[in-house]
Amino acid sequence: MITVPADPFPFAFDPDHVALLCIDFQRDFMEAGGFGESLGNDVSRLRSTIEPTGRVLDLFRRQGWPVIHTREGHRPDLTDLFAAKRDRGNPTLRIGEEGPMGRLLVRGSAGHGIVPELAPVEGEVVLDKPGKGSFYATDLETILRARGITSLVVTGVTTEVCVQSTVREANDRGFESLILADCTGSYFPEFHQSALAMFSAQGGIVGWVGTSDALLDAVPTATAGTAAATTTDEEVGQ
């Protein structure tokens, strides 16, 4: 077992049963001209997540531990887009409309892709999802159970939207989540802090909250993971 200092108490995981979740590190949320900006957000607020998440990705790749990337988005014909989601708020552009990085939150457009710094590599699962939670209308649970994964290290954007939905769904399914505070981010710093506090409150009602440094320090450099990265037929790349 590997034990990582965390709130509300240390997070212990078996390196043969852990996976890294990288949630929605998409250009549409993190770069100018995307969906996040169309909602009126300052997308530069998410950039600080990239460097520490890159170091955690390197760790998982070095160890041969599984990595799963998610992307929020819709079919080009928008048949999987509820009106309730399309019509929400008062954006300058709606989902499916043409922006500087192609159609907003539509699979296959440039904006839907993951930022180049955190791009998936061969052997990593890329999971497309139409909603905020990564388990909703996807085969994530099947993928995790097929590999015997019980513990998740969670990174991604935004903390109080897609990360929060995902870790709550994971908790209800019996997975234990360590959410990395510096590898998650929000357009609203106060929501980031509140969401993290909600996860670890009440004895870890949703999960554990730690940092990338605490995780990196806790993993012995000589530990060779036995859970070799496996290839699935999921699409890899952008």
Residues that bind ligand TIU (CB under 6 A): 24, 29, 39, 72, 132, 157-158, 161-162, 187
| Nearer to ligand TIU (CB atom), residue 39 or residue 229 | 39
Smallest gap from residue 64 Cβ to ligand TIU (A): 28
Q: How far apart are CA 183 and CA 100, in angstroms?
A: 27
**Phi/psi at 190 (nearest 5 deg)?**
-70, -30
Q: How far apart are CA 123 and CA 227, in angstroms?
A: 13
Smallest gap from residue 181 Cβ to ligand TIU (A): 16
Smallest gap from residue 2 Cβ to ligand TIU (A): 28
Q: Report the relative pairing of strands 102-103 and 98-99 from DSSP bridges.
A: antiparallel
- Give the relative orientation of helices 189-204 and 164-172 as an angle to the nearest 10 degrees: 20
Q: How far apart are CA 194 and CA 40, in angstroms?
A: 21
Distances (CA, A) of 156 to 15, 23, 80, 83, 153: 21, 4, 23, 26, 10
Smallest gap from residue 187 Cβ to ligand TIU (A): 6
Structure-block tokens of residue 105: 């939150």
Structure-block tokens of residue 85: 């989601």
Which run of H or of E encompasses 203?
A: helix 189-204
Enumerate the active-site residues. Answer: 24, 129, 162
